[in-house]
């Protein structure tokens, strides 16, 4: 029998927040209806409250019907700045376009950026590649409407967290391989990249934290179905399978030391470097999955936002 791997400790400030959150570490298929219920989706009003931000909902053409996207801009927006295309948190199986977008909407105020976030289809009702193709279609729409939306198409950045981080990696690879649109950079926040779910960190985060190893199996099983673990998985669906990471835009990768996705995210950054590419990697000590969203005022969360913001500003200055 393989000995249980000892996980790294949680940050001392973050640990009590996790205990008070009341979120079970393990999510099973039987929990799906509860995950899609009230309480897991931030209110649009909270994203906008007290800030000079306007929100517009658009319905656009998707690969299998209409898609809904949200567009955030400053109320005094001046055209010509950057845009962030966001894909949301939710394990490929729950959530909506507002889950996890709060730190990205901050760039609307700070950088006069345009932020677009898409309501992609969820598994298991819509298994892969539905979420990918929806996200890519919305990314292309965003680029094609740069003038109308008011941003510089050479400053379009893909960004996503958790499952959305996996989608961001996938659609950035798709943009490279399909030749459009031009992507200035990608930001992968605690990204879900490897359907194998067999890394050391996946073995360590088992029955603890948030989105543990079993939760990850739940998400991947629903997303990939019977194809999971076979050769019939594309590099867009599970970006860790991509052997060729040349030609990617500058990439920012961040992850906690105490979460399932640590090792696959570190490996992805390492393989970008091995391919001659540009990547910046941050592993936040003691950070569990989604720590920035659950404890936004914690010192580690502030440090994570500041480091990401500095990278974005350097990217846009180049």
- With beta carbons less than 8 A apart as the criterion, state whether 221 and 287 touch: no
Mean pLDDT of 164-172: 98
For residue 7, pLDDT over 80 is answered with yes
With b meaning 16 or more CB within 10 Å and e meaning fewer, what string describes 80-119?
A: ebbbbbbbbbbbbbbbbbbbbbebbbbbbeebbbbbbbbb
Going by their DSSP bridges, the two strands 114-118 and 151-161 should be labelled as unpaired
Cis amide bond preceding 69, omega within 30: no
For residue 318, pLDDT over 90 is answered with no
For residue 5, pLDDT over 70 is answered with yes
For residue 188, pLDDT over 50 is answered with yes
Cis amide bond preceding 23, omega within 30: no
Contact partners, residue 148, CB within 8 Å, separation at least 6? none
Residue 252 token pair: 């920012």
Residue 34: per-residue pLDDT: 87
**Confidence at 3, pLDDT banded by 50, 70, 90:** low
d(CA 279, CA 315): 11
For residue 117, pLDDT over 80 is answered with yes
- Dihedral through CA 60, CA 32, CA 13, CA 19, nearest 10? 150
For residue 1, pLDDT over 60 is answered with no
Mean pLDDT of 215-222: 98
Q: Which residues pair with 262 in a beta bridge?
A: none
Going by their DSSP bridges, the two strands 114-118 and 65-74 should be labelled as antiparallel
- Kindly give the residue spans of alpha helices, DSSP state H, lying in the chain: 14-21, 32-35, 44-48, 102-111, 130-144, 146-149, 163-178, 200-204, 213-224, 262-274, 291-294, 299-317
Q: Which residues pair with 151 in a beta bridge?
A: 81
- With beta carbons less than 8 A apart as the criterion, state whether 174 and 197 touch: no
d(CA 268, CA 250): 13
> How do residues 59-69 score in pLDDT, each as one tens digit?
999 999 999 99
**DSSP collapsed to 3 states, 82-144:** EEEEEECCCCCCCCCCCCCCHHHHHHHHHHCCEEEEECCCCCCCCCCCHHHHHHHHHHHHHHH
d(CA 41, CA 33): 14
> How do residues 282-301 score in pLDDT, each as one tens digit?
999 999 999 999 999 999 99
Q: What's the maximum distance between 2 C-alpha atoms anywhere in the chain?
A: 62
């Amino acid at each position: 029998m393989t000995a249980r791997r000892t996980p790294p400790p949680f940050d001392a400030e973050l640990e009590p927040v996790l205990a008070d959150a009341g979120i079970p570490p393990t999510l099973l298929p039987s929990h799906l209806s509860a995950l899609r219920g009230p309480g897991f989706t931030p209110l649009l009003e909270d994203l906008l409250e007290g800030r000079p931000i306007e929100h517009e909902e658009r319905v656009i053409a998707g690969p299998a019907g209409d898609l809904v996207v949200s567009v955030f801009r400053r109320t005094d927006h001046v055209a010509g700045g950057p845009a962030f295309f966001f894909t949301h948190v939710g394990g490929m199986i729950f959530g909506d376009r507002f889950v996890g977008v709060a730190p990205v909407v901050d760039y609307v105020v700070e950088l006069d950026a345009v932020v677009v976030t898409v309501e992609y289809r969820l598994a298991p009702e819509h298994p892969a590649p539905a979420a990918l193709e929806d996200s890519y279609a919305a990314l292309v729409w965003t680029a094609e409407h740069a003038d109308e939306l008011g941003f510089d198409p050479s400053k379009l950045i893909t960004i996503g967290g958790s499952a959305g981080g996996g989608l961001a990696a996938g659609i950035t690879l798709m943009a490279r391989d399909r030749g459009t649109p031009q992507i200035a950079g990608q930001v992968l926040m605690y990204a879900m990249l490897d359907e194998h779910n067999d890394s050391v960190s996946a073995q360590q985060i088992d029955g603890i934290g948030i989105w543990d190893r079993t939760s990850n199996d739940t998400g991947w099983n629903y997303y990939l179905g019977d194809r999971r673990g076979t050769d019939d998985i594309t590099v867009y669906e599970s970006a860790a399978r991509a052997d060729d990471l040349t030609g990617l835009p500058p990439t920012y990768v961040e992850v906690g030391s105490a979460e399932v996705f640590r090792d696959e995210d570190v490996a992805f950054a390492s393989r970008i470097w091995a391919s001659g590419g540009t990547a910046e990697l941050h592993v936040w000590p003691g950070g569990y999955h989604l720590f920035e969203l659950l404890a936004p005022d914690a010192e580690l969360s502030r440090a994570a936002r500041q480091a990401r913001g500095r990278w974005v500003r350097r990217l846009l200055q180049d």
